[in-house]
A = this chain, B = another copy of it.
Amino acid sequence: MINNEVTKLLNMTYPVIQAPMAGGVTTSELVAAVADNGGLGMMGAGYMTSSQIREQIREIQQLTEGPFGINLFVPNEFHVSEQEVELASNRLQPIREQLDLQQKEQVDIPNFDKVSESFQQQIEVVIEEKIPFCSFTFGIPSKEIIEELKQHHIILIGTATTVKEAVENEKAGMDMVVVQGCEAGGHRGNFLSGDQESLIGLMALIPQVVDNVSIPVIAAGGIMDGRGLMAALCLGAQCVQMGTAFLNCEESGAHASHKEAILHAAEDETVLTRSFSGKWARGLKNDYINEMHEDESLFPAFPVQNKLSQDIRKAAAAQNKTAFMSLWSGQSPRLAKKQCVESLMEHIISETRKIGRKV
- Nearest B residue (CB) for A2: B359
- Residues on B with C-beta less than 8 A from A162 are 266-268
A214 CA to B308 CA in the complex, in Å? 47
Q: A197-B269, A268-B198 are in contact. Are A204 and B332 (CB under 8 A)?
A: yes
Among A136-144, A232-240, A311-319, the stretch in contact with B = A232-240
- Whether A207 lies near B1 (C-beta < 8 A) is no
- Whether B230 lies near A359 (C-beta < 8 A) is yes
A359 CA to B359 CA in the complex, in Å? 7
Among A21-29, A74-82, A84-92, A221-229, the stretch in contact with B = A221-229
- Whether B359 lies near A208 (C-beta < 8 A) is no
Beta-carbon contacts of A158-183 to B below 8 Å, as 1s and 0s?
Answer: 00001110000000000000000111
Q: Which of A213-253 contact B (CB under 8 A)?
A: 219, 221-225, 227-228, 230-236
Number of copies: 2
- Whether B198 lies near A221 (C-beta < 8 A) is no
Q: A205-B267, A335-B207 are in contact. Are A200 and B183 (CB under 8 A)?
A: yes
- Nearest B residue (CB) for A223: B203
**Of B208, B221, B227, B266, which contacts A234 at CB under 8 A?**
B227
- Residues on B with C-beta less than 8 A from A183 are 200-201, 203-204
A212 within 8 A of B: yes
**Of B208, B223, B331, which contacts A200 at CB under 8 A?**
B331
A266 CA to B163 CA in the complex, in Å? 8
Nearest first, the 6 closest Cβ-Cβ pairs linking A and B are: A204-B222, A201-B201, A204-B331, A183-B201, A231-B231, A230-B234
Interface residues of A (CB under 8 A from B): 1, 162-164, 181-183, 193-194, 196-208, 211-212, 219, 221-225, 227-228, 230-236, 266-269, 271, 330-332, 334-335, 355-356, 358-359
Q: A203-B221, A231-B231, A231-B232 are in contact. List 19 more A-B contacts (CB 8 A).
A: A1-B358, A1-B359, A162-B268, A181-B203, A197-B271, A198-B268, A201-B203, A201-B331, A203-B231, A203-B232, A203-B332, A204-B267, A207-B225, A207-B227, A207-B335, A208-B335, A228-B235, A230-B231, A356-B359
